[in-house]
Amino acid sequence: MANAVSWDEFRLVKAIADSRSLVGAAEALGLNHSTVFRRLGALEDAMGTRLFERSRLGYAPTAAGEEMIALAGRMAQDIIEFERTVAGRDVKPAGELRITTNDTFLAHFVAPVLASFGAAYPDIRLDVIVANTTLNLSKRDADVAISATVDPPETLVGRRIADVNWARYAPAIWFEGGREPDLDAAHWIGFGDALSGVRVGRWIAQNIAVDRVRCRVDSILGIAKAIAAGIGVSALPCFIGDNTKGLTRVGDRLPFFGDGIWLLTHPDLRNSARVRAFMDHAGAELAKCRKLLEGE
């Protein structure tokens, strides 16, 4: 080859390998399909070898492609580690801070924390990623996570804010006029596939007869709204159930379903001024919500 292969070409090849298609690679790289096709062809011509075999199953790397993909993976990891190291050396709380949390946390107690933090640190721009799956902080998908987990990854550091206790909730309209509904025969609202990792969802699937599950919902906030509408009973975190109009808590808390709420970051970032500022501020503010979170 007359010219060295650029990092962009390595990214291109890795994106094709990850998705096994030009369309998937184009979406990942923010390009159009024809540009990816043209660049791959030009790269293969310049290298004098095929990097992928095309088939009905997609793009499968050749031996040369495998070598380039492996090198691209190592390069990407080195770049991520370099970015984390540099980000961890800032001394002034300024710049962009990427925070990830789920929709229920954001709606019920994280949003005011973000507001007060923004007022205290106007030079920090917040990029809030709402995701009900855990992002990879090691790959810098986010800088800080506010998440529920039983056992946070050993690769992260942070603090446990509180336990998240659950309880059973029923529609308040069932109790109007002094009525006492037969909750042992009541319909249940199950958890959809997107909540398959939540332990209480698995408990419902294993312990509530199929004919009693009237519907399934794949959002905790959606389940709360479905209970309030009178569809059936279900289990919710107390901080949601106790603060959603139209719900009545039934029985004691179910602490055996609870996770902990954690404030987490990567060790390389904990000395970053903006990360440290957020961890300290959010930790103090979230601690004030402890009784709410634990359903007391």
**pLDDT tens-digit map of 271-295:** 788 888 999 999 999 888 888 887 7
Helices (H) and strands (E) in the chain, counts: 11, 12
Among 12-16, 179-183, 291-295, which is the least confidently predicted range?
291-295
pLDDT (0 to 100) of residue 152 = 80
Stated length of the chain: 296
pLDDT in tens, 110-150: 999 999 999 999 999 999 998 766 555 555 578 899 988 87
**C-alpha closest to that of 58 among 12, 10, 9, 25:** 25
Distance CA 221, CA 104 (A): 6
Give 104-108 contacts, CB < 8 A, sequence gap 24+. Answer: 104/220, 104/221, 104/237, 104/240, 105/146, 105/147, 105/148, 105/261, 106/130, 107/221, 108/239, 108/240, 108/243
Task: List, in sequence order, every residue forming a beta bridge with 2; answer none if it has no partner.
Answer: none
- Average pLDDT score over the chain: 84
Which helix (H) or strand (E) segment is 213 a member of?
Answer: strand 213-217
pLDDT (0 to 100) of residue 2 = 47
- The answer for 97, left when phi > 0, alpha when psi is -120 to 50, beta otherwise, is beta
pTM (2 d.p.): 0.61
Distance CA 275, CA 96 (A): 10
Amino acid letter, residue 34: S
3-state helix, strand and coil shares in percent for the chain, rounded to the nearest 5: 50, 20, 30
**C-alpha closest to that of 223 among 214, 211, 235, 213:** 235
Mean per-residue pLDDT, 36-52: 87
Distance CA 41, CA 51 (A): 9
* Domains within the chain, CATH numbers bracketed: 7-87 (1.10.10.10), 95-164+259-293 (3.40.190.10), 166-257 (3.40.190.10)
